[in-house]
Homo-oligomer: A and B are copies of this chain.
Amino acid sequence: MTKPLISLAALFALTSPALAQDAPAAPSPNQIVAEAPVEEWLDIPAQDLIVMTLAPAANGSGRTVVIQLMPEPFSQSWVDNIRTLARAQWYDGITVNRVQDNYVVQWGDPNYDNPETDGAAKPLPEGLAETHERDYVFEYPRDPGGDPSYYPLSAVLRTSWIKGLVEQGIIPDGAQFREALSRQKGDSYALETAYIGGWPVGMEAEFQPKHRDIAWPVHCYGMVGVGRNLAPDAGTGAELYTVIGHAPRHLDRNIALVGRIVEGIEHLSSLPRGKGQLGFYEDESKRVPILSVRVASDLPEAERPAFEYLSTGGETFARYADARANRRDPFFNVPAGGADICNIPVPVRRVAD
């Protein structure tokens, strides 16, 4: 378990450990990312970064969380609202109210739909956009030839896995090839998974009310979503949560995802678990105050954080994804020959001052 130094997969050596020794030493996924050419790193616009400052920890150390909001075409009504709420300083003084183990941390007005309290809700500012369930998903062509950020994960992993079996002579390129295809590894929630514009998505065809190809962002660790009440309420963006456990993908297409935490998630994931229903804190004193939430572009330049992400359309991302799915260094006996999309996070890093 210790020192899992992870090497690049020997792509075609999927079931024969002996072959690994013949393969040249290869860089780990992290090394692959570290060696990416500078042009494959893309700036995150400052207006897409949200800086959330929690009250200091018991030992006095600061706790800052940075969230990257999603760009178009994802969830823009909620994303706009989050900027509006931040600029109205509405979030200042709200609290972290819910910490449910292996599920979510949720913050907002402590009286919003909280089974442990019954106080009056905090009034929302003017100017919030209406939000709709239909915007949980967006129309996206199955074969998006013109999108240079597109990386079709399911298709790539499936093809390389089958190819490996054929090249090793484990299955011939014929009837058994097709049999293997019909018993393929895949995603448990979507017919296809992919990356679009630096974000993980599920993809499928929707048949009602009419046929169209759709995509939607998926609930991986650290993704940020919009709390809501029962449908058709789609939430405003005032109530937010992040995933701190195994990806709850059953929430995909049922809640708006608006971003991901790119720094400081440990300040949320290590909070004490709430003992009330759904992990709400029964004891009000456990709630963690949120001192301020600001759009990075509104901060003075000296205080403005800068982040960049690895292009999901570049060569480095493809090598990194393959290395995450097929680990062959001395620690590993058996490469998986696949990975779920939440185990291949898009690399994001702080830009040095």
Interface size on A, residues (CB 8 A): 83
Q: Are A1 and B231 in contact (CB under 8 A)?
A: no
Q: A1-B241, A170-B207, A247-B246 are in contact. Are A188 and B189 (CB under 8 A)?
A: no
Of B157, B227, B247, B331, the residue contacting A230 (CB under 8 A) is: B331
Binds B, one of A41-49, A64-72, A79-87, A262-270: A262-270
| Closest residue on chain B to residue A331 by CB atoms | B230
> Which residues on the B side are within 8 Å of A157 (C-beta)?
188
Give 1 or 0 for each of A325-341: 1 = CB within 8 Å of chain B CB.
10100111111111110
Q: Are B188 and A249 in contact (CB under 8 A)?
A: no
Closest Cβ of chain B to A34, distance in Å, is 15
A159 interface contact, C-beta 8 A: no
Closest Cβ of chain B to A58, distance in Å, is 8
Q: Are B181 and A185 in contact (CB under 8 A)?
A: no
Give the docked Cα–Cα distance between A197 and B15 (Å): 27
Binds B, one of A88-96, A100-108, A302-310: A100-108
Interface centre among A101, A104, A112, A253 (most CB of B within 10 A): A101
> Which residues on the B side are within 8 Å of A258 (C-beta)?
none
Give the docked Cα–Cα distance between A334 and B253 (Å): 6
Give 1 or 0 for each of A113-128: 1 = CB within 8 Å of chain B CB.
1110000000000000
Q: Are B249 and A246 in contact (CB under 8 A)?
A: no
Give 1 or 0 for each of A182-211: 1 = CB within 8 Å of chain B CB.
111111111100000000000000111000
Of B4, B246, B278, the residue contacting A342 (CB under 8 A) is: B246
Interface centre among A183, A229, A273, A335 (most CB of B within 10 A): A183
Of B182, B221, B333, B335, the residue contacting A246 (CB under 8 A) is: B221
Of B2, B184, B230, the residue contacting A113 (CB under 8 A) is: B2
| Closest residue on chain B to residue A273 by CB atoms | B266
> Which residues on the B side are within 8 Å of A58 (C-beta)?
58
A62 interface contact, C-beta 8 A: no
A133 interface contact, C-beta 8 A: yes
Q: Are A1 and B225 in contact (CB under 8 A)?
A: yes
Closest Cβ of chain B to A192, distance in Å, is 8
Closest Cβ of chain B to A348, distance in Å, is 14
Give the docked Cα–Cα distance between A177 and B101 (Å): 40
Give 1 or 0 for each of A38-66: 1 = CB within 8 Å of chain B CB.
00000000000000000000100000000
| Closest residue on chain B to residue A280 by CB atoms | B2
Q: A185-B190, A186-B187, A189-B338 are in contact. Are A271 and B270 (CB under 8 A)?
A: yes
Give the docked Cα–Cα distance between A114 and B2 (Å): 8
Closest Cβ of chain B to A93, distance in Å, is 20
Closest Cβ of chain B to A261, distance in Å, is 11
Q: Are B340 and A189 in contact (CB under 8 A)?
A: yes
A322 interface contact, C-beta 8 A: no
> Which residues on the B side are within 8 Å of A273 (C-beta)?
266, 269-270
Interface centre among A102, A266, A271, A272 (most CB of B within 10 A): A102
- Can you give 5 contacting A-B residue pairs, CB < 8 Å? A1-B241, A231-B332, A246-B246, A250-B325, A250-B327
**Which A residues fall within an 8 A CB radius of B?**
1-4, 15-16, 58, 98-99, 101-102, 104, 106, 112-115, 133, 136, 157, 170, 181-191, 206-208, 220-222, 225-231, 235, 239, 241, 245-255, 265-266, 269-273, 278, 324-325, 327, 330-340, 342-343
